[in-house]
């Protein structure tokens, strides 16, 4: 069962620019799903279509098997969205805002749950303040609380941790992880790729309105992330044509301190670490130091979106 099934979703804005192009995506029920992409990739457009703030130009979406566009209200009751833009009502306190939002979603006031939300999002001390007295981080946490008042089965968070400090971010993610463990599907966008890699079990990457990849995080990291052998010679290495030929297959790159070789798998499934090391020693002699570094989600992301030829070049972050 999928929490969300998106088929051929597209959006062309009035001015004619295309924000989404034929995106198809499945978000498994109970997953912790990262939707990643550079600024302007179409993430927010997609979320706003799901939230009924933007109209799609084409495509179909089902939520828990129900058609999102023809059964809007059924779907809305099961979905909580944290918008990217901070929105607040200057007249009301966080507590009043939560009661009001719960009401909008047709829920009778459940004070215990509202108190818990305030507590978990560390707003209890500020529950009686006017919204305009809250700091940016507090307002953002209030948006998270608002998205959860009706205990949705799918929670969508659009950049929920922008402007939230490390400690609070950690606690927010702990809370999301708890909700996820309780069966809530969580779809999030974030620019903190290390957090996405740690938290999420599924990932999709979009760029310029197109879906580049969507798969379980583990599969992505196994199949797309590569490893690099880094050999330190304590001096800049410039690769000659002969070096290029001898090290072909390892995508060799010279650097300020030595050389980098890309590792792969040989036919029997073994890493090519040994061959790469020997080939390098044969060309340049034994290194002063060596290490293997596996690409993380950020490297993969930069490589796939084509925004990271530099970072990809060295293959090494020291």
Closer residue to other proteins in complex, CB, 83/258: 83
Chain centre distance of CA 70: 29
Q: How far is the CB of 72 from other proteins (least distance, A)?
A: 7
81 forms part of the interface with other proteins (CB under 8 A): yes
Q: How far is the CB of 92 from other proteins (least distance, A)?
A: 8
Query: Which residue of 24, 40, 87, 194 would you call a contact of other proteins, by CB under 8 A?
Result: 87
Binding segment toward other proteins, per CB under 8 A, in 28-36, 70-78, 112-120, 219-227: 70-78
Q: How far is the CB of 295 from other proteins (least distance, A)?
A: 37
CB atoms < 10 A from the CB of 10, how many? Answer: 18
Q: How far is the CB of 201 from other proteins (least distance, A)?
A: 26
Task: Find out whether 142 and 96 touch, Cβ atoms under 8 Å.
Answer: no
Kindly tell me the sign of the dihedral angle through the C-alpha atoms of 90, 143, 18, 2. negative
# residues contacting other proteins (CB under 8 A): 36
16 forms part of the interface with other proteins (CB under 8 A): no
Query: Which residue of 7, 30, 54, 201 would you call a contact of other proteins, by CB under 8 A?
Result: 54
Q: How far is the CB of 227 from other proteins (least distance, A)?
A: 44
Could you give the CA distance from residue 117 to residue 112 in angstroms, rounded to a whole number? 9
What mask of x and - would describe binding to other proteins in positions 89 to 108, judged by CB under 8 A?
A: xxxx---x--xxxxxxxxxx
Query: Which residue of 53, 181, 248, 282 would you call a contact of other proteins, by CB under 8 A?
Result: 53
77 forms part of the interface with other proteins (CB under 8 A): yes
67 forms part of the interface with other proteins (CB under 8 A): no
Task: Find out whether 207 and 41 touch, Cβ atoms under 8 Å.
Answer: yes
Q: How far is the CB of 156 from other proteins (least distance, A)?
A: 10
User: Over the chain, what HEC string results?
Assistant: CEEEEEEEEEEECCCCCEEEEEEEEEEECCCEEEEECCCCCCHHHHHHHHCCCCCCCEEEEEECCEECCCCHHHHHCCEEEECCCCCCCCCCCHHHHHHHHHHHCCCCCCHHHHHHHHHHCCCHHHCCCCHHHCCHHHHHHHHHHHHHCCCCCEEEEECCCCCCCHHHHHHHHHHHHHHHHCCCEEEEECCCHHHHHHHCCEEEEEECCEEEEEEEHHHHHHHCCCEEEEEECCCCCCCCHHHHHHCCCCCCEECCCEEEEEECECCCCCECHHHHHHHHHHHHCCCCEEEEEECCHHHHHHHHHCCCHHHHHHCCCC
Binding segment toward other proteins, per CB under 8 A, in 23-31, 75-83, 213-221, 309-317: 75-83
Binding segment toward other proteins, per CB under 8 A, in 86-94, 119-127, 166-174, 180-188: 86-94
Closer residue to other proteins in complex, CB, 127/225: 127
Q: How far is the CB of 103 from other proteins (least distance, A)?
A: 2
Query: Which residue of 72, 125, 218, 235 would you call a contact of other proteins, by CB under 8 A?
Result: 72
Q: How far is the CB of 63 from other proteins (least distance, A)?
A: 12
71 forms part of the interface with other proteins (CB under 8 A): yes
* Interacting residues with other proteins (CB under 8 A): 13-14, 48, 51-55, 71-74, 76-77, 81, 83, 85-92, 96, 99-108, 146
């Amino acid at each position: 069962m999928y929490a969300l099934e998106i088929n051929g979703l597209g959006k062309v804005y009035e001015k004619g620019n295309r924000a989404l192009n034929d995106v198809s995506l499945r978000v498994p029920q109970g997953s912790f799903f990262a939707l990643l992409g550079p600024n302007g990739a179409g993430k927010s457009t997609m979320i706003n279509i799901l939230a009924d703030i933007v109209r799609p130009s084409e495509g179909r979406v089902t939520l828990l098997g129900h058609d999102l566009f023809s059964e809007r209200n059924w779907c809305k009751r099961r979905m909580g969205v944290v918008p990217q833009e901070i929105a607040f009502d200057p007249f009301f306190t966080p507590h009043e805002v939560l009661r009001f939002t719960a009401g909008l979603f047709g829920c009778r006031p459940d004070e215990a749950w509202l108190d818990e939300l305030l507590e978990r999002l560390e707003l209890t001390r500020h529950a009686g303040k006017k919204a305009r007295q809250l700091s940016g981080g507090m307002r953002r946490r209030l948006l998270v609380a608002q998205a959860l008042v009706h205990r949705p089965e799918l929670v969508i968070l659009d950049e929920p941790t922008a402007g939230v400090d490390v400690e609070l971010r950690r606690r927010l993610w702990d809370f999301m992880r708890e909700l996820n463990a309780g069966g809530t599907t969580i779809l999030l966008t974030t620019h903190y790729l290390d957090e996405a890699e740690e938290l999420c079990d599924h990932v999709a990457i979009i760029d310029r309105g197109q879906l580049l990849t969507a798969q379980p995080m583990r599969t992505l990291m196994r199949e797309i992330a590569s490893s690099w052998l880094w050999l330190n010679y304590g001096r800049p290495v410039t690769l000659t044509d002969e070096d290029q030929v001898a090290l072909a297959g390892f995508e060799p790159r010279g650097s300020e301190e030595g050389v980098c070789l890309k590792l792969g798998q040989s036919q029997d499934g073994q890493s090519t670490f040994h061959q790469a090391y020997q080939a390098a020693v044969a060309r340049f002699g034994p290194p002063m130091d060596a290490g293997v570094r596996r690409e993380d989600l950020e490297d993969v992301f930069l490589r796939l979106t084509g925004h990271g030829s530099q970072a990809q070049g060295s293959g090494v972050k020291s």
